[in-house]
Amino acid sequence: MNFCTMAHGAVQCLFRATCRTHPGKTFSPQLMSYEFFHRSLNKELSSQWKMDHLDRTANNFRQQIISQAKVCRITTESETVKRVRFAVQNKDFTFKPGQWVDFFIPGISKVGGFSICSSPRLLQKDGVLELAVKYSTYPPAKWIHTQCTLDSEVELRVGGDFFFDPDLDSPPVNLLMIAGGVGINPLVSILLHVADLHRLHQSRVTEYEPGFVNLLYSAKNTDELLFKKTLLDLADKFPGKIDCSFHVTQQITPVCEYLRPYVTEGRISEQILAKHLSQDCLCYICGPPPMIESTSQQLENLGAPRDWIHFEKWW
């Protein structure tokens, strides 16, 4: 596939938006990470579990604002994932779709790191954001599943170089997003943001109309596919603009009739990527590190330029 005719202006606008949060830096953090990714992956996989969130993300951008936040809703997203909504106290607290928060819990020394799964507009409109956290024995995640209750208070700080925040004065760009497991979190935030931009365009608030978004989402089984209804509702509300497909790797029970048209059994292969990769799309990947490595290599094999491939791998 020949990518020589790609719309370089659109991606440059995205990179400018990224670099504005990093005064004095003239490179893309995602590009820098990609150059070192393949060399360091094996080392990271053997040592990362020993590192705290703050250590793993020490070189990432962080805002200075730390805001108090109160739990105002808790729902069960799957057997292993809880979705928690927080009322954010600081009115100056903002984030870009795709970013994460440092998660400070009173009485717990370990600092959590969780990707935001809601849209920036929800924060602007209602003063809340949401996290979807998978159970583990890591103290912050375990606290959410075993001790967190309505009105529990925590502190939040936004960080991260992985986001999609387009310049509304620039030409739109298409997105191919690939998620694995709970790695859907930052990508659903991006997708919700794109949907908000479509609504603003439809209501004539802005002339900017986002490009096409294609989400490929893989999990062990349909029970572990998070945000299923939200994703399918968005595809239904914005036909020709948003498309979602699900892939399950260890499905034992039959797929329910409602999901059957959208589910493919097996991993997201290079052949599947080839069907969805176009000449004018940015690629966003979030999932387990081995998945990120294989998917980014497959995209490269298909001709995607390295600086159009973005991924979140700290977790």
Reported as type and span, the H/E element at residue 142 is helix 139-146
Parallel, antiparallel, or unpaired: how do β-strands 67-76 and 81-88 relate?
A: antiparallel
In this structure, are residues 196 and 168 in contact, taking their beta carbons and an 8 Å threshold? no
The two counts, helices (H) then strands (E), for the chain are 9, 12
Q: Is 130 helix (H, G, I), strand (E, B) or coil?
A: strand
Measured distance CA(273)–CA(279) in Å, rounded: 13
pLDDT of residue 312: 83
pLDDT tens over the chain, length 315 residues: 333 333 333 333 343 333 333 333 333 334 334 444 444 444 444 444 446 899 999 999 999 999 999 999 999 999 999 999 999 999 999 999 999 999 999 999 999 999 999 999 999 999 999 999 999 999 999 999 999 999 999 999 999 999 999 999 999 999 999 999 999 999 999 999 999 999 999 999 999 999 999 999 999 999 999 999 999 999 999 999 999 999 999 999 999 999 999 999 999 999 999 999 998 899 999 999 999 999 999 999 999 999 999 998 755
pLDDT of residue 132: 98
Parallel, antiparallel, or unpaired: how do β-strands 281-286 and 263-265 relate?
A: unpaired
Parallel, antiparallel, or unpaired: how do β-strands 81-88 and 100-104 relate?
A: unpaired
Cβ-count burial 65-81 (b if 16+ within 10 Å, e if not): ebbebebeeeeebbebb
Strand intervals (E) in the chain: 67-76, 81-88, 100-104, 112-115, 128-134, 153-159, 174-180, 213-219, 242-248, 263-265, 281-286, 309-312
pLDDT of residue 292: 95
